[in-house]
Copies of this chain bind each other. A is one copy, B any other.
């Protein structure tokens, strides 16, 4: 994670960001820099820096003689990892989790297909190692260890795809997977079918079989969607 205490303005953002993304200040609300500065007991300069950051995330808009107005949700930079984290920590966590899982279901199969074409020998080795780690921890309440390998697996696939946009989703996927284990439906042990699929994806990538890697990953995605009742079972 990004360090939380990277300056006073960061401390302010840790409170204000979640508040806005949680809808505590509904869209159209008008804030004033001076009042906020007083409320958070920081100087105006610090407050201005915080507002600038929120502005760059399209969460708010600052206009002269008006103040700092909260923008409608549809305009937010929802791909900003910081925004994602704030929303995952807040009230619309379930909604955010669904959006992200659907996004994953679109991206990861394609990424796996590309990985089969572009993965280096080293990446293939990492992948099988991750898959084996998942197998080894798939039974007997070793959920934390399992999670570590699961996250690593998906991160390697996204990176090996060779597409920078896909690669940057590694953190997001990590957040989703961690969330599932820690807050959502927490199975006693992971679904054995899912574990097997991961192993087979690793094999397909190693074999350079793009369409098989893609199809298998699609099946993993379907499983994730079903877990959230997005697809009929």
Contact = CB atoms under 8 A, between A and B. Distances in A.
Interface string A33-56: 000000000000100110011011
A102 interface: yes
Contacts of A52: 9, 49, 52-53
Interface residues of A, number: 35
Interface string A82-111: 100000000000000001101101110111
Given A49-B49, A56-B56, A164 B78 contact: yes
Contacts of A165: 78-79, 99-100, 102-103
Nearest to A73: B164
A79 B82 contact: no
Given A53-B52, A53-B53, A110 B99 contact: no
A74 interface: yes
Interface of A is mostly: helix
A9 to B, nearest CB: 7
A56 B82 contact: yes
Contacts of A76: 168
A163 interface: yes
Contacts of A167: 74
Contacts of A48: 45, 49
Interface in A155-193: 163-168
A64 B49 CA distance: 17
A80 interface: yes
A155 to B, nearest CB: 12
A73 B165 CA distance: 11
Given A78-B168, A106-B109, 11 more contacts: A45-B48, A49-B49, A49-B52, A53-B55, A56-B57, A77-B80, A78-B165, A79-B168, A102-B114, A102-B165, A106-B111
10 closest residue pairs by CB, A with B:
A79-B79, A106-B110, A53-B56, A49-B52, A103-B165, A99-B165, A106-B107, A102-B163, A56-B56, A78-B168
Contacts of A107: 103, 106-107
29 contacts: A49-B52, A52-B53, A53-B53, A56-B57, A56-B82, A73-B164, A74-B167, A74-B168, A76-B168, A77-B79, A77-B80, A77-B81, A78-B164, A78-B168, A79-B80, A99-B163, A99-B165, A100-B165, A102-B163, A102-B165, A102-B166, A103-B107, A103-B163, A103-B165, A105-B110, A106-B106, A106-B111, A106-B166, A107-B107
